[in-house]
Homo-oligomer: A and B are copies of this chain.
């Protein structure tokens, strides 16, 4: 399965920055999740509808980030996102953040599990969602369960 990165762009805004003059580390997770939401929309499984229907939820159970270079106010950032693992009950995502010069500034990863509406025990991903996500895979397919 060849790598099919999903691309998402944002501009570093004043509310992203902190008194050190750079993007506050915690806000990068917010942008990563926005990129993931855009991917879900493209896949036909917008999070708004998922939350409205409440047949299942997709909470994060893990995330991590490496910060390589600071991002600054006004910079246009390219996020490249792919599905690194797709399992029966969840999936792993990877995100790379590049600055306008194409330098890698941060790398993130998140692990999502499918649960019922009460956020309790895990359940199988809906087959349709699983099929839709498969198009964003980047070559690894070990089961994350």
Contact = CB atoms under 8 A, between A and B. Distances in A.
A64 interface: yes
A51 B15 contact: no
Nearest to A32: B26
Contacts of A51: 19-21, 73
Interface string A35-48: 00110010000111
Nearest to A113: B67
Given A48-B72, A73-B47, A64 B67 contact: no
A51 B17 CA distance: 12
Interface residues of A, number: 44
Nearest to A23: B19
Interface string A56-69: 01011111111110
22 contacts: A12-B48, A13-B34, A14-B34, A15-B27, A15-B30, A18-B18, A19-B19, A21-B51, A22-B119, A25-B33, A25-B60, A26-B26, A26-B33, A41-B74, A46-B74, A47-B74, A61-B66, A61-B67, A62-B65, A62-B67, A63-B64, A64-B64
Question: Ordered nearest first, which 10 A-B pairs have the shortest CB separation?
Answer: A48-B74, A64-B64, A26-B29, A17-B19, A48-B73, A13-B34, A15-B30, A25-B60, A26-B30, A46-B74
